[in-house]
Structure 1
């Protein structure tokens, strides 16, 4: 409403003011007197009057700078994704958007979606081949976790083989350190049978059971997807669903068979629904009043306006 006062100021600023005049009876004083014409009343000073009104109106509106923070707390569910990156995971028997991709690529895509859907869970990543190695510790920093996930792929420089037992044991050790967890789970993704490592899968599963850790096992790959003989001497060892079923049963979890991208997505959707908990978030809003700055500006503009309209230069003789 105060801004409406600017309208008459704008309308009057370009109108000529009254001409200054003086009544005198003698021409002798003309040498010391002069006239100061005001052809445009307040042409320059009115700009500061407009600024004064504008700043005062903004100050009355009480502008604020608002910062909102969300205090995020962990859900209490800690998850380790143990992903097989042995040579057999290079087989391209999965289809994504009409394009054939290898098993690792399909697994990375589905795991990425799974992580993004669980922002309040602490999640870690342990790839494994002939032995496990830690790619990411259990963390809530999912952006960093996803960047690590993108780099996971089969590597010939790694110890080759499939160490399922060692992968479960390594994952369980990291989960065992999280004493404040309400639930701890391992999601094991593999397309082969255990043929490396110092610990058998069943022994590792029993140890995980003692620690209260559930191991969801996911067998990935089609039966048609087989390694050539020069890469694996005994192709029949590539799939070992029986052992994976036993691991899940021992740890009170479930076993899944993913023969396609759709199966893999469905598997992780099911796990996502099974392992849920309510999370409370605290939203904190900080507000900083800014009206003080506009009050100072309004006073400053007003003072300039008063100076311009009060103090004038000495009149010049005509």
Structure 2
């Protein structure tokens, strides 16, 4: 019984197996001329017997082992031509369905050590970054990009399906690289510019911040209005406890941004809540898969082909040795 993962791509090839036998029956035999030995009394013998000279030919016949070798070679050749292969388990091919942009605040306030991870106090940014690594890893199928902002907003990673690169670029970012203040409107505008330069229509932005907008160039709600016109959905995440004295989180603005663009607002007071938020975003924006399946294939045609060539070489070698042996015996008999 053949294993479940063994397949033959072209099984109809084996219908050609009787073809040599059909040709053997239909085509005339190959006649080969052989040299004749003339002796002095040849003409007298013809006159005495009344016979007439005629041309002769030798029809060579193969023995059983020759026929067996030819049949095996033809069968192995057909086996190679049928393309046998080992087929792996089917895998769903992930479809690139949207541009997913992470826009993260790296202003000085993200350096506060008021979050706890594994029983230790850590900076807000370190906790956010750690959980963001897991989130990015799960988003296979989206083309992801990174924008970091504070006083200024800059593109850390353009849209790409290479999530390992995005993850590496995230790891290299740190607090203070974009300034000290928080300019949410400028960050949204930078994200819209990235979306405008791409052709994928589904556009999702995840905006994380722990502060209140301090910019004057682009106000947050103006940026949200531009995002709405450009069909960009924004999920906003507020970092920190708005009831604590060290927090200046503007929840109202983040809620309005989410409502205007068709997204949703989340509050993450600690790392555990942020992890739950990432899980919720995964449900709201699930990964889509293509209908077609990808199955890894390992071709095996070279094995029967190599066996056919090896058998042909061996049969030819044996035939040559048998021929030499017969000639040697004939010479000994003549002597």
Check whether TM > 0.5: yes
Of the candidates 55, 74, 83, which is equivalent to residue 96 of structure 2? 74
Q: How far apart in 1 are the matches of 2:168 and 2:256? A: 33
Distance in 1 of aligned mates of 2:253 and 2:199: 29
State the 1:197 CA deviation. 5.7
Find the aligned partners of 2:120 and 2:324 in 1 and give their Cα distance: 81
CA gap of 1:65–1:86, structure 2 versus 1, over 3 A, is: same
Rounded Cα–Cα distance in structure 1 between residues aligned with 2:323 and 2:120: 81
Question: After the TM superposition, which residues 211-230 of structure 1 pair with which residues of structure 2 at under 5 Å, given as runs?
Answer: 211-222=230-241
- Verify: 1:64 aligned to 2:64, yes or no: no
Deviations along 1:147-173, one digit per CA (max 9) or x if unpaired, are 111112113x53321111100111122
Aligned-residue offset at 1:249: 1.9
1:248 and 2:248 are equivalent in the alignment: no
RMSD of aligned alpha carbons: 3.8
Shift of 1:72: 4.5
Q: 1:122 aligns with which of 135, 138, 143?
A: 143
Corresponding position: 1:136 with 2:153: no
Pick from 310, 313, 317 the counterpart of residue 297 of structure 1: 310
Q: What is the correspondence of 1:4-23 to structure 2 with a 5 Å cutoff?
A: none
Instruction: Give the TM-score, by structure 1 length.
Output: 0.67
Q: In the alignment, does 2:267 pair up with 1:268? A: no
Correspondence for 1:163 among 170, 183, 205: 183
Does the CA-based 8 Å contact 2:115-2:121 persist in structure 1? yes
More displaced 10-residue stretch of structure 1: 59-68 or 285-294: 59-68
- Once the two structures are TM-superposed, the CA of residue 284 in structure 1 deviates from its matched residue by 4.7
Matches of 1:57 and 1:197, distance apart in 2: 79
- Give, in angstroms, the shift of residue 128 of structure 1: 0.9
Point out which structure has higher relative CO (alpha carbons under 8 A, 6+ apart): 1
How many residues align? The count is 256
Distance 1:298 1:112, change over 3 A: farther
When structure 1 is superposed on structure 2, of 60-69 and 242-251 the one drifting more is 60-69
> Shift in Å at residue 301 of structure 1?
4.5
Residues 158-193 of structure 1: CA deviation (Å, up to 9, x unaligned): 332111110011112212333432x32211011111
Between the aligned partners of 1:106 and 1:304, the Cα distance in structure 2 is 74
**Residue 28 of structure 1: aligned partner:** none
Structure possessing the higher radius of gyration over alpha carbons? 2
- Structure 1, unmatched stretches of 5+, are 2-52, 227-234
Gaps in structure 2 of 5+ consecutive residues: 2-71, 329-335
- Is 1:86 the counterpart of 2:86 in the alignment? no
Q: Secondary structure at the match of 2:306?
A: helix
**Pairing 1:196–2:215 present:** yes
